[in-house]
Amino acid sequence: MKKYYFTNGFYSPLRLFSNEKAKKYRNQLEDVESQIGPLHYFTKTYTMLKWVYDIATDKIILDFIEDLIGKNILLYNATFIIKEPQTKTYVSWHQDLTYWGFDNNQKQVSAWIALSNADATSGCMQMIPGSHKKGFFNHKTIKDSDNVLSRGQTVNNIDIDKAVSCPLKPGEASFHHGLTLHASQPNNSNDRRIGLNFQYITTDMKQLKSNDDSAICVRGEDNFNNFKKDIIAKEDFDEEGHKRLLERTEHYEKTIRENNINEL
Ligand SMILES: O=C(O)CCC(=O)C(=O)O
């Protein structure tokens, strides 16, 4: 697993929990959505939903993350990326580390967990193997309301023939490095495509674009304190948690807007 990840810049699939458990989490998500509206693309959802934090700190995930980046780990983000059935929403080819404002330590991994079926029809993730070893690619900002990415950051001239699809069943996860080129196509299925995307970084990572960014130590020790501490939800939804979610989402979007995203 580890060797495959370091060679290719991603690993998929890894089963984390059963289909039934994934259904239970999906019901919990959709129950909250029925009260406050769609939860697509909000930041740090573990500040509002305790069960999201429980998944993020699952032993299977953290053991694998520790294998990849070492024992002192911060959880930086947890975002639902939801493509509604039969919609044009897609994710353009990009590298994550080009727009978060971090320093160049590159010790970062994303874990993408399927809460519904993610396959070629519903628009699963696609990766370019080995692209994480080629440094930062030039990104263009392309305005397109169908693109999930808020800045529309896009790497052009990708050799699509090299792309590897990462289909996942509910309860399975894929993992990718912050410099791995990845994308996903529209959801042509009749069900929602629901991904829960976690970002993990090492405790020595620095945020260069904000003094007010936050994260939470989920394994080992944080002797650096480069990030404020996120407040973790105590329940599965409450008003205080909702306020935290909105505040942190606004902060994250501001940080991304102010970043140059490597437009050379
Ligand atoms: O959910 C998707 O289709 C894309 C997610 C993504 O870009 C990411 O996990 O970095």
Which ligand 1 atom sits closest to the C-alpha of 81? 1
| pLDDT score at 259 | 65
C-alpha 254 – ligand 1 centre gap (Å): 20
Positions in the chain whose pLDDT score sits under 50: 262-264
The residues near 90 (Cβ < 8 Å, ≥ 6 apart) are: 83, 123, 146, 147, 148, 183, 184, 185, 186
pTM > 0.85: yes
Helix (H, G, I), strand (E, B) or coil at 210: coil
C-alpha 248 – ligand 1 centre gap (Å): 19
CA-CA-CA-CA torsion sign (117, 121, 122, 126): positive
What pLDDT, in 10s, does the model give residues 59-71? 999 999 999 999 9
Residue 23 CB burial class (10 angstroms; 0-12, 13-18, ≥19): middle
Residues with CB under 6 A from ligand 1: 81, 91, 96, 110, 112, 125, 182, 184, 195, 197
C-alpha 223 – ligand 1 centre gap (Å): 30
Tell me the domain boundaries of the chain: 2-257
* Spatial distance between the Cα atoms of 180 and 17, rounded to a whole number of angstroms: 25
The mean pLDDT value of the chain amounts to: 93
Q: Which residues partner with 131 through β-bridges?
A: none
| pLDDT score at 263 | 42
Q: Which fold has domain 2-257?
A: Jelly Rolls (2.60.120)
Angstrom distances, CA of residue 51 to CA of 48, 67, 122, 198, 223: 9, 24, 25, 13, 27
| pLDDT score at 264 | 33
